[in-house]
Amino acid sequence: MGGLSLLVTGADGFLGRAVVAAARARGHEVRRLTRGPGGDVACDLAEGVPLEALRGVARIIHCAGALTGDDARHRRDTVEATRLIAAARVPMVLAGSIAVCDGMARVVDETTPPDPRPHLRDAYTRAKIAQEKAAAQGQPLRILRLGALWGRGRLWNAHLGLCAGPLFLRLGRGEIPLSHVTNAALALVIAAEGDWSGVEIVHVVDDERPDAARYLAAMPGRPRLVLPLPFALVDLAAILAAPLGARAPGLLRRPVLHARMAPRRYDNARLHALGWRPVTGFDAGMKEAA
């Protein structure tokens, strides 16, 4: 198809920069919206969207949002910002997160519902669940639920385990829902190129999804002291901690533990159906990161 005029929010972020590069490589005109200086339009989306940001735009690829912070920050920078930009009613591709899916599900695909226990999840996941609702305002909307973004400069993810002093406790048993930043960026651009109606959900994970052991073995700068911890043992601790509810530490809340560490299977067939093919494989990505 011919080149489109695309507005990319969060264009100076880890994902946004890759989206801008992918869109330009495919012949699209890109307007970069950033919170600070350096973009084509600078604004705080939670305070409103300038008219000049939207003039002549055919599609919005919405990458902006909070990655850290408490519920208040996520509500402002992720949920409210999305509500305001979606109100423009321009067809939108939303960079969502696969983290929203039911933490106890064993197979994670587009039919997996959002977690029915958001109070037991972290502030980021709660905000991404709310963001999907805020983005749906009658315009064509594609929600791309991205897996664990990785690439040069971002190799750690919550599916690997946790540090305990000099030890790294490896808890994960199943495949990690990796999404290399170049692969995720291409998926967002391809999704924006199509014509669609209503709300569609597409899961974005790489074809190669190693387990934690393989990932850590390949990762440059990996921890030297790695202790595999039986998942069943930690799961039992989470069951015993269940009466604490949201007061329990993160990994002792079962939906959190299972979402990050359980042996789950992920599917990206719908992504392939859009015409996507991976740009960067696992070995090549790790070699580039090193």
Q: How far is CA 101 from the centre of its chain?
A: 12
**How many angstroms separate the Cα of 124 from the Cα of each of 121, 131, 171, 177?**
8, 10, 21, 17
Complete domains list, the chain, with CATH: 5-289 (3.40.50.720)
The amino acid that residue 211 corresponds to is D
Closest CA to 57 of 200, 185, 192, 201: 192
pLDDT at 1: 54
3 state DSSP class of 237: helix
- The pLDDT profile of the chain, 290 residues, written as one tens digit per residue, is 569 999 999 999 999 999 999 999 999 999 999 999 989 999 999 999 999 999 999 999 999 999 999 999 999 999 999 999 999 999 999 999 999 999 999 999 999 999 999 999 999 999 999 999 999 999 999 999 999 999 999 999 999 998 888 899 998 778 999 999 999 999 999 999 999 999 999 999 999 999 999 999 999 988 889 999 999 999 999 999 999 999 999 999 999 999 999 999 999 999 999 999 999 999 999 999 98
DSSP characters over 189-207: HHHHHS---SEEEEEE--S
pLDDT at 101: 98
108: Cα within 13 Å, side-chain hemisphere: 29
